Amino acid sequence: MLIYIVNIKGGGLRSNIYDSAITIIFFIVIALYLGVRDYDIGTDTVNYIRDFRYIEQQPSLTGALDTIRRGSDPLFTVLTFYISRLFSEQEYLLLLTMLFLVPIAIFIFKLTKGRRSLLLLAFLSLYSFKYMAINTIRSGIAMSFALLAMYVFFHRKHWLKILSSSILPVVLHVSSLIFIVPMIAVRYVKNVNVFYLLILLTSILSFIGFGLDNIPIVAQALMESERASSYIEGNERYQTGFSITYWLYNFIVFLYAVYFSRKIDDDFYSYLMRLFIFLTSIYYLCFNIAYNDRIGVYSWMLIPILITYPFIKKNIFGKIGGGIVISLLLIFQLMAILYLNR
């Protein structure tokens, strides 16, 4: 209700100050809610605590790097090693949560001076938000920093900032290349018809059962990776194959973005839409792969921005009706509940 009043009924500098205060308070509450949690919440919390305890016992950083996840995601291991020297395991969870939330907060405050709480609400409406903050925190942190990298890259900041912000997510979690490479590519391919064709083609291929696992060179590369091969081999408890619900989840956003990209004529929004289509197309081709939601999160993280950007930057609440965006966020929350109960 506070977010509704500030964003739809409010206006002016005073409203922006209230909005920023609400946003900061909500971030603090979320950090405490997710960071000070029991170890039995989430499937991976206990695994992170186990790794923390093991690294804490290592006499040197080299020993930790050689044994934890066989040297993969080294920066995360380095962070855990030094955190274990200064903080407890409960504080470790809180710090990881902060590492996930702070880049998102910085991104929100850089993107807009008003209606920040609305964008935060949009992020909270995603199933993947809590999922990344608890179960896949390593990739979640990498994805948060990738959002900042996207902002820096699009606005053509200093080359050193672009380079460092783009490398950091990859060092944290190599799978963030799924986001970083398209982030760069779509900046230079501006013909939207190419992307429209891409999402239609991948939708058809996904529907008939064709995916990345059917491309020999890709399948072979995945099988050679111990982590990726588990996705190809599958899991009996995980639903794979084309699903109209999960296809529609992204496709509705695609249609929404197409409509508003024509209505507001904004370069950044057009860039976001092209990136979302590219990432969605990759996700569609991963429907046959177990744990494909770990691929889907890279497109899902753009959904809050795509939904709210026309309202927070172009001030079209009065023309369209502010309740529409709130309704959309509720719809996506309901779809997230369906996802959780699949």
The pLDDT score that the predictor gives to residue 77 is 83
Q: Residue 341 has what pLDDT?
A: 46
CA distance 229 to 243: 22
Are residues 136 and 293 in contact, defined by beta-carbon separation less than 8 angstroms?
no
Sign of the CA dihedral running 149, 155, 158, 159: positive
Q: What's the confidence (pLDDT) of residue 328?
A: 61
- 101-128 pLDDT tens trace: 999 999 999 888 877 888 888 888 777 7
Question: b/e per residue, 100-125, with b = 16+ CB within 10 A?
Answer: bbbbbbebbeebbebbbbbbbbbbeb
If you ran DSSP here, which 8-state letter would residue 156 be given?
T
Distance CA 184, CA 192 (A): 16
**What is d(CA 193, CA 255) in angstroms, rounded to the nearest whole number?**
14
Residue 52 falls within a domain, yes or no?
A: no
Is there a domain that residue 81 lies in?
Answer: no
List CB contacts of 225: < 8 A, sequence separation 6 or more.
none
**Alpha helices for 212-266 (secondary structure H):** 216-223, 226-233, 244-264
The number of residues making up the chain comes to: 342
pTM for this model (two decimals): 0.85
Helix residue ranges, H only, 208-243: 216-223, 226-233
Q: Is residue 269 part of a domain?
A: yes
pLDDT at 186: 94
Give the count of domains, the chain. Answer: 1
Q: At what angle do helices 177-188 and 137-154 cross, to 10 degrees?
A: 20
- Domain assignment of residue 267, yes or no: yes
Is 209 contained in some domain? yes
Q: Which residues contact 323 (CB under 8 A, 6 or more apart)?
A: 8
Has residue 306 been placed in a domain? yes
Distance CA 254, CA 242 (A): 18
pLDDT for 218: 63
Q: Are 87 and 75 in contact (CB under 8 A)?
A: no
> Would you report the helix, strand and coil content of the chain in percent, each value rounded to 5?
80, 0, 20
> 184-216: b or e for each residue (b if 16 or more CB lie within 10 Å)?
eebeeeeeeeebeebbeebbebbeeebbbbeee
Report pLDDT digits (tens) over 40-49.
777 778 888 8
Q: Which two tokens stand for residue 269?
A: 């929004």
Domain assignment present for residue 310? The answer is yes
CA angle 259, 265, 266 (to 5 degrees): 110
CA angle 318, 319, 321 (to 5 degrees): 65
Domain range for 107: 2-35+87-340
Intervals of the chain under pLDDT 50: 1-2, 5-6, 12-13, 340-342
- The DSSP secondary-structure symbol of 279 reads H
Distance CA 7, CA 5 (A): 6
Q: Would you state the pLDDT for residue 182?
A: 94
Answer yes or no: is 311 within a domain: yes
Q: What are the CA-CA distances from residue 218 to residues 22, 27, 214, 286 (Å)?
A: 46, 40, 8, 11
Please check whether residue 55 is in contact with residue 68, taking contact to mean a CB–CB distance below 8 angstroms.
yes
Q: What is the pLDDT of residue 342?
A: 47
